[in-house]
Structure 1
């Protein structure tokens, strides 16, 4: 027979953990009614090591309590299969999360490199999943929820692209499209593919910290036109704007916009 201190010592668990197991009826040591001391036999040791094993593979206490009452080998196998599927799903989620983190790091590098700079760059293929008439068309956001690329249930704006159409007289249309990046050119696509091999590309800053809250649409259009005139580019009459990153300075938002203006 072993004392609680001896068991805690050679199994590497705390006294509180052993008391918790006892409260949950996962281990049932005999208790001396005279002095209240617990005595653990070798069957109790089996119980504790079994509970430790299941806790190590992240089986919740309720499931272990069910096991403690009765569970066939087939039942244990089924439980482990269920846990295996949970772990595989979590691994897939972590992979997606890692990819998302890497993309945001790349976006930070883009901002450092291209903020206020103008180059010619390809706008890589996007699949159009839907359209929102305007940013304030909240009743249409169910389409965004359905088609957005998201890790959890949070709806973000990273699946949106603002599309401004213009002519020599100015803006003629302003809408939002819901898109998905086409990772594999050979994959089967349901929606329309949007792609432009040559665009004037830049990153501009919006948000109250830099603009004082004023609308920068005119600045975007004017800067794109000036670059096109200077370089001799023939604009196609559209600008695609992607919300790249939002941060804060002195409590005011700094919004970085990635801009593609296709040229003919």
Structure 2
């Protein structure tokens, strides 16, 4: 027979952990009625080691309690298969999270390289997964969210685009779309594909810190027209806007936007 101190040291667990296991009836050492000391036998040690094993697999205490009462080999296999799928799902989530982090790091480089600069660049293919025709069309938002492939089913920065249509008289309309980047050897495409081989490309800054919260759409349009005129480009009357990053200065947001304006 072993004392709680001996078991705690041998199995490298705290006394509090052993007491917690006892409270949850995961281990049942004998207790000396006279002095209240617990005595553990080798079966108790097996129980504790087994509980530790399942805890390392991140199996909930409630499920371990069920195992403690009764479980066949097939039942154990089923539980482990369920946990295996949870782990595989979490790995896929972590991979996607890592990819998104790497994208934002690249966006930081874009801001440093292209802020206030204008160049010609291809807009890589995007698949439209959903859209809101107008910012007041809240009833469409639920449907739009169902079509996104972003993290945790949420609409994230990397999947949201604002589109502005304009002509010589000014801005005609705008809408938001949820998109997915089309990769090489991609899976079957379901939605409409956006692709423009030549665009005027730049990164601009918006937000209350830099503009006082004023709408800069018309100034951006004027800048694009000026660049197109100077370079001899013909604008197609479209602007795609991607939110790259938001930071804060004195509590006011600085919003960095990526601009693609297709040209002939």
TM-score class, shorter: over 0.9
Q: Which residue does the alignment assign to 1:163?
A: 163
Deviations 1:168-210 (A, max 9, x none): 2222222223322112355321221110001000011111010
1:16 paired to 2:16: yes
Q: Which residue does the alignment assign to 1:221?
A: 221
Normalised to the residue count of structure 2, the TM-score between the two structures is: 0.96
Q: Which residue does the alignment assign to 1:5?
A: 5
- Between 1:143-152 and 1:34-43, the stretch displaced more is 143-152
Q: Which residue does the alignment assign to 1:192?
A: 192
TM-aligned CA deviation for residue 56 of structure 1: 1.1
Deviating beyond 6 angstroms after TM superposition, the runs of 4 or more aligned structure 1 residues are none
Q: Which residue does the alignment assign to 2:61?
A: 61
1:76 paired to 2:80: no
TM-aligned CA deviation for residue 82 of structure 1: 0.9
Whole-angstrom CA distance in 2 between matches of 1:136 and 1:250? 30
Q: Which residue does the alignment assign to 1:175?
A: 175
Whole-angstrom CA distance in 2 between matches of 1:6 and 1:178? 60
Normalised to the residue count of structure 1, the TM-score between the two structures is: 0.96
Alignment of 1:82-231 (within 5 A): 82-231=82-231
C-alpha spacing 1:185/1:76, structure 2 compared with 1 (3 Å): closer
Q: Which residue does the alignment assign to 1:252?
A: 252
Aligned-partner SS, 1:81 = helix
CA RMSD between the two structures: 1.4
C-alpha spacing 1:74/1:186, structure 2 compared with 1 (3 Å): closer
Whole-angstrom CA distance in 2 between matches of 1:74 and 1:149? 35
Aligned-partner SS, 2:151 = coil
| Structure 1, gaps ≥5 residues long | none
Residue 127 of structure 2 contacts residue 194 of structure 2 at CA under 8 Å; is this kept in 1?
Answer: yes
C-alpha spacing 1:130/1:48, structure 2 compared with 1 (3 Å): closer
Aligned-partner SS, 2:189 = coil
TM-aligned CA deviation for residue 129 of structure 1: 2.4
Whole-angstrom CA distance in 2 between matches of 1:11 and 1:40? 12
- Between 1:7-16 and 1:174-183, the stretch displaced more is 174-183
Whole-angstrom CA distance in 2 between matches of 1:130 and 1:35? 70
Residue 148 of structure 2 contacts residue 154 of structure 2 at CA under 8 Å; is this kept in 1?
Answer: no
- Between 1:205-214 and 1:158-167, the stretch displaced more is 158-167
Aligned-partner SS, 1:152 = helix
